[in-house]
Amino acid sequence: MKKIRKAVFPVAGLGTRMLPAAKTVAKEMLTVVDRPLIHYVMAEARAAGIEHFVLVTGRGKTAMEDYFDHHIELQATLEAKKKNEILDQLMADLPKEGEISYVRQMAPLGLGHAVWCAREIIGDEPFAVLLPDMIMDATPGCTRQMIDAYEQTDGGSVVVVEPVPAGMAHQYGIVALENQEGRLNKMTGMVEKPAPGTEPSNLFISGRYILQPEIFEVLNDRKTGAGGEIQLTDAMLKMLSAGSPYYALEYDGKTYDCGDKLGWLRANVAMALQRPDIKGVRAMIETELKR
Ligand code: UTP
């Protein structure tokens, strides 16, 4: 079984739910407390042993290239002011030279298309996909849990799932399972936004995947689906229907969907509450509620 060495981060979406900020600030660069969303997700992948990071970027997304690069003036200033702790942390957060690649999705044609754009860099090996607008708060990290689960399979594909909030299944991709026992189960199908009452399980696809390189051949046909976009779910379903094994992993942790305003606000509060260096968050919220 081939090791999972590479991860794809699709960051080329328009982020219309985060307008007006997303007009000029990439959604993935919006900060949760004091670091951009992409920072959390890269850290999760690094902690899982990923060796090469592929960012699928687009128009207006170049800030991410600068974020993961040296900043000579800033480094010199921090050094001169002896702010060594901050400097060391900034340096530790950087990928090493050659560990990160950027490929441009020339038009935001959908998540499936974004993943397909990484095909030449990924080559013929299984790889991880992480959606940067989902912060997965877990120990060990969600990608680590997913790779551990993958290693228990026969070399199939893995999608991370979690229970859908009551009455919300019609807004998500829902998996169908052979059996629902324990956390890792073989899938028999998946449905994008099922009509209320028709959902095949209570588990939705939540933004982390391990995919086999055959997905690129399926995506080659550039077939559009829901919303006129090239959907990753459609390509996965096609592979599954052709007999390629797919597994759903119900991971152990909490997900923060930062793709809309309320979810992003919730992530800010939750992450700030966990930070020992930021005191008084709870009191600040209580005071604000009374004002
Ligand atoms: P979303 O489904 O959240 O889409 O994409 P979006 O376009 O960014 O946001 P809305 O719905 O308009 O508010 C999930 C992830 O996939 C990337 C996005 O950047 C995001 O990180 N994506 C989506 C692409 O890279 N390319 C696409 O064509 C679509």
249-282 tens-digit pLDDT: 999 999 999 999 999 999 999 999 999 999 999 9
Cα(288)–Cα(52) distance, rounded to whole angstroms? Answer: 43
Q: Which CATH class is domain 6-289?
A: alpha beta
pLDDT at 62: 93
Q: Is the CB of 131 under 6 A from ligand 1?
A: yes
pLDDT at 37: 98
Tell me the average pLDDT across 5-24: 96
Backbone angles phi, psi at 137, to 5 degrees: -95, 105
Q: Is the CB of 198 under 6 A from ligand 1?
A: no
- List, for residues 129-153, the tens digit of each pLDDT value: 999 999 999 999 999 999 999 999 9
What is the DSSP secondary structure assignment for residue 155, as one 8-state letter? S
Q: Which residue has the least CA distance to atom 18 on ligand 1? A: 13
- List, for residues 30-59, the tens digit of each pLDDT value: 999 999 999 999 999 999 999 999 999 999
| Ligand 1 atom closest to Cα of residue 108 | 28
pLDDT at 92: 93
Cα(14)–Cα(58) distance, rounded to whole angstroms? Answer: 9
For residues 44 and 142, the answer to whether their CB atoms sit within 8 Å is: yes
pLDDT band per the 50, 70, 90 thresholds, residue 17: very high
For residues 103 and 57, the answer to whether their CB atoms sit within 8 Å is: yes
Tell me the average pLDDT across 55-66: 95
What is the DSSP secondary structure assignment for residue 291, as one 8-state letter? -
Write down the mean pLDDT value for the chain: 95
pLDDT at 177: 95
Cα(174)–Cα(187) distance, rounded to whole angstroms? Answer: 11
Cβ atoms < 10 Å from Cβ of 49: 12
Cα–ligand 1 centroid distance for 39 (angstroms): 17
Q: Is the CB of 122 under 6 A from ligand 1?
A: no
Q: Where are the alpha helices (DSSP H) in the chain?
A: 37-47, 63-67, 72-80, 84-92, 111-116, 119-122, 142-150, 214-219, 232-241, 261-273, 281-290
Tell me the average pLDDT across 176-188: 94
Cα–ligand 1 centroid distance for 93 (angstroms): 24
Cα–ligand 1 centroid distance for 261 (angstroms): 14
- List, for residues 83-121, the tens digit of each pLDDT value: 999 999 999 999 999 999 999 999 999 999 999 999 999
Q: Is the CB of 175 under 6 A from ligand 1?
A: no
Q: Which residue has the least CA distance to atom 14 on ligand 1? A: 131
pLDDT band per the 50, 70, 90 thresholds, residue 16: very high
Q: Is the CB of 17 under 6 A from ligand 1?
A: yes
CA atoms within 13 A of residue 45's CA, in its CB half-sphere: 34
Cα(160)–Cα(247) distance, rounded to whole angstroms? Answer: 9
pLDDT band per the 50, 70, 90 thresholds, residue 192: confident
Helices 72-80 & 84-92, crossing angle to 10 degrees? Answer: 150
Q: Which of 14, 42, 56 to mutate to test the pocket of ligand 1 (most atoms within 8 A of CB)?
A: 14
Torsion of CA 94, 97, 100, 102, to 10 degrees: 110
Two tokens, residue 203: 């588990």
Q: Which of 131, 261, 264 to mutate to test the pocket of ligand 1 (most atoms within 8 A of CB)?
A: 131
- List, for residues 219-257, the tens digit of each pLDDT value: 998 888 878 889 999 999 999 999 999 999 999 999 999
pLDDT at 73: 96
